[in-house]
Chain A
Amino acid sequence: DAGVTQSPTHLIKTRGQQVTLRCSPKSGHDTVSWYQQALGQGPQFIFQYYEEEERQRGNFPDRFSGHQFPNYSSELNVNALLLGDSALYLCASSRLAGVVDTQYFGPGTRLTVL
């Protein structure tokens, strides 16, 4: 049973560029959440997707956007990259968006903005 997978593992971009990160949820899961984890900090909630729609959003600017596909996989897009966007981006999947289900995390994508 495959767990949550994310790609790419690492990414280096320059300021002002755009980036797309990808996530495939755990088998049987239909809800995907994205978190940003800066160095030495706990993960911060970006948004959650269910039924191809953004259900909830954290305190992140509109430069952060996402998408969920019919197969439940998801993308996180960040436009106009800033140095402060450098972080580990974690994807988590869960079932039953109507309840607080346990979120299972992927290995993350480490984004470095130069």
Chain B
Amino acid sequence: AQKVTQAQTEISVVEKEDVTLDCVYETRDTTYYLFWYKQPPSGELVFLIRRNSFDEQNEISGRYSWNFQKSTSSFNFTITASQVVDSAVYFCALSEAGSGTYKYIFGTGTRLKVLA
């Protein structure tokens, strides 16, 4: 069965601190995709990154970086030098391509509060 676990319900950091959001997934499929989305108070889910199961290279985009490790079924997200504008709920999602299903399975989200 497919499942995404975001064990951290809420994290509070002071501005300029680094913070890592954890994501652990379960799937029996060998071909799958992982995503991170940001949900600010306005409610819209903002796409951040997409990763396929065959690409374990870590990725960096500005202050954001992602660490994908198939051995531990984890896809963690790090924000370096956090800013107040990073305050939001962050969701990790999984989609299995091999089973003919294209729905996304989301975790329960991690609420990040960055304090000035």
Q: Roughly how many angstroms separate A102 CA and B97 CA in the complex, as a whole number?
A: 12
In the bound complex, do residue A102 and residue B35 qualify as a contact, i.e. CB atoms below 8 Å apart? yes
With a CB–CB cut-off of 8 A, which chain B residues contact A58?
103
With a CB–CB cut-off of 8 A, which chain B residues contact A55?
102
Q: Say yes or no for A106: interface residue by CB 8 A criterion.
A: yes
Could you tell me how many residues of chain A have their Cβ less than 8 Å away from some Cβ of chain B? 27
Could you tell me how many residues of chain B have their Cβ less than 8 Å away from some Cβ of chain A? 24
Once A100-B33, A106-B44, A108-B44 are accepted as A-B contacts, the answer to whether A42 and B103 lie under 8 Å apart by CB is no
CB-contacts of A23-68 with B (<8 A): 33, 35, 40-45, 48, 55-56, 58
Q: How far is the CB of A64 from chain B (nearest CB, A)?
A: 14
In the bound complex, do residue B97 and residue A99 qualify as a contact, i.e. CB atoms below 8 Å apart? yes
CB-contacts of A57-98 with B (<8 A): 58, 88, 90, 92, 97
With a CB–CB cut-off of 8 A, which chain A residues contact B102?
48, 55-56, 97, 99-101
CB-contacts of B1-24 with A (<8 A): 4
In the bound complex, do residue A107 and residue B42 qualify as a contact, i.e. CB atoms below 8 Å apart? yes
With a CB–CB cut-off of 8 A, which chain A residues contact B42?
107
With a CB–CB cut-off of 8 A, which chain B residues contact A106?
44
Q: How far is the CB of A55 from chain B (nearest CB, A)?
A: 8
Q: Roughly how many angstroms separate A44 CA and B42 CA in the complex, as a whole number?
A: 19
Point out the residue from A42, A107, A110 that lies within 8 Å of B91, measured CB to CB: A42
With a CB–CB cut-off of 8 A, which chain A residues contact B4?
42
In the bound complex, do residue B106 and residue A102 qualify as a contact, i.e. CB atoms below 8 Å apart? no
List, sorted by A's number, 10 A–B pairs whose CB atoms are closer than 8 Å: A42-B4, A44-B106, A90-B43, A97-B102, A100-B33, A100-B95, A102-B50, A105-B37, A107-B44, A108-B43
List A residues at the B interface (Cβ < 8 Å). Answer: 33, 35, 40-45, 48, 55-56, 58, 88, 90, 92, 97, 99-108, 110
Given contacts A35-B104, A45-B104, A88-B43, 13 further A-B contacts (CB under 8 A): A45-B103, A48-B102, A58-B103, A92-B45, A97-B102, A100-B95, A100-B97, A102-B35, A102-B50, A104-B47, A107-B42, A107-B44, A110-B43
